[in-house]
Structure 1
Amino acid sequence: MQGMVRMETVNQHNAASGEYLVFTLGQEEYGIDILKVQEIRGYDTVTTIANSPAFIKGVINLRGTIVPVVDLRIKFQVGTATYNQFTVVIILNVARRVVGIVVDGVSDVITLGNEQIRPAPEFGATLKTDYIQGLGTVDERMIILADIEKLMTSSEMELMDHSMQPA
């Protein structure tokens, strides 16, 4: 039991280190915690929802589960929002919900140690970056590490039911 407590302490201290799924949006590479990823699939036709923000493409039926789909290219205003056989949807498990995100492509899974992760830059109130955990470096690559759960549950994403939020 003592060894288990020690391991939890180490994991809390090294919260940013671990495995990340790397995807591209425009010219930038982003990394998200691999443990949040359920599956990666091609883009299917979505059912649009009236009066939803432009970045919420609609919903898909994934084996009986209705999944909202967010196009991060539109949300972050990067890349071109084209939908073809190369478009990728990452299915995530965040905040006890299943959500899909549309990205330009998925490149690989990387393991980052604490020494490879730098703190997120401060931009002040003009640029909202609270979903950025840090910047990972692998050789000459710089990867923006996103807290996908914080991003998907933010009020501006409007994805989480108010009934699911704690009172």
Structure 2
Amino acid sequence: MTVDTNMLDAQDEQASEKDQLMQLVGFVIGNEIFGVDILMVQEIIRGAVVTAIPNAPEFVEGVINLRGNIIPVIDLRKRLNLYVEQKTDDKNWVLLLNIGNRTTGFVVDRVTQVLKIQHDQIEPPPDIVVAGLESQYINGVCEIDDYLLILLDFDRILLMEEIRKLKQIDNMKTT
């Protein structure tokens, strides 16, 4: 039996390219474009009714009932301190992400598309951004077409104190 080494090399190269490819869900807040690893996204919903919770932390928009599951929803605009004019569209977009084995919703202005980028396109965030203590959740930036995409690390976007407060909301819904 004869083995075509050129074909094997091509297959290895394709596998290597796939390993270097990252898929992101793109979303917008204000004029900024962000991305999150597609593997964290459980669902994207539009027009969810968010119920406010009394005495909730400022960054918590409320909760939604999704097929019998009560899920906390965070206003990503507030969490990222993006003070830009909020759009007036009455149908919000909520990204449901798996963070630490807990489903958490994040309100964004709109979801764009699934983006495929090479790992080597991602650059570390500029020093001025990293200097802020609150910027630990920025994984990097990359240029796509004529805009800059900011990659967020949602595993680090909430501080331990904030995670504790979300657990309190979880406890409230079970009693």
Equivalent position amino acid for 2:23 in 1: E
Report the TM-score when normalising by structure 2: 0.74
Given that 1:88 and 1:103 are in contact with CA atoms closer than 8 Å, whether structure 2 keeps it comes out as yes
Distance 1:25 1:53 in 2: 20
Match for residue 172 of structure 2? Answer: none
- After superposing the two structures, state which structure 1 stretch, 127-136 or 94-103, moved more: 127-136
Residues 111 and 63 of structure 1: is their aligned pair in 2 closer, same or farther, counting only changes over 3 Å? same
Distance 2:42 2:145 in 1: 28
User: Does 2:35 match 1:53?
Assistant: no
Cα deviation for residue 92 of structure 1 reads 1.0
Given that 1:151 and 1:157 are in contact with CA atoms closer than 8 Å, whether structure 2 keeps it comes out as no
Residues 55 and 81 of structure 1: is their aligned pair in 2 closer, same or farther, counting only changes over 3 Å? farther
Cα deviation for residue 133 of structure 1 reads 0.5
Given that 1:25 and 1:105 are in contact with CA atoms closer than 8 Å, whether structure 2 keeps it comes out as yes
Q: Percentage identity across aligned positions?
A: 36
Residues 100 and 80 of structure 1: is their aligned pair in 2 closer, same or farther, counting only changes over 3 Å? farther
Match for residue 132 of structure 1? Answer: 138
Residues 160 and 50 of structure 1: is their aligned pair in 2 closer, same or farther, counting only changes over 3 Å? closer
Distance 2:116 2:161 in 1: 30
Which digits, 9 at most, give the CA deviation of each residue in 1:82-125, with x for residues without a partner?
56444211111111011110001111111111221101222365
Equivalent position amino acid for 1:52 in 2: A
Larger Rg: 2
Match for residue 98 of structure 1? Answer: 103
Distance 2:30 2:161 in 1: 22
Given that 1:55 and 1:70 are in contact with CA atoms closer than 8 Å, whether structure 2 keeps it comes out as yes
User: Does 2:84 match 1:77?
Assistant: no
Match for residue 6 of structure 1? Answer: none
Match for residue 143 of structure 1? Answer: 149
Report the TM-score when normalising by structure 1: 0.77
Residues 113 and 125 of structure 1: is their aligned pair in 2 closer, same or farther, counting only changes over 3 Å? closer
5 Å-filtered alignment, 1:28-67, equals: 28-67=32-71
- Number of residue pairs aligned between Structure 1 and Structure 2: 148
Distance 2:85 2:77 in 1: 7
Match for residue 26 of structure 1? Answer: 30
Superposed CA RMSD: 2.3
- Unmatched segments (≥5 aa) in structure 1: 1-9, 163-167
Equivalent position amino acid for 2:24 in 1: Y
Given that 1:43 and 1:84 are in contact with CA atoms closer than 8 Å, whether structure 2 keeps it comes out as no
Specify the SS of the correspondent of 2:72. strand
Match of 2:117 among 112, 117, 126: 112
- Unmatched segments (≥5 aa) in structure 2: 1-15, 169-175
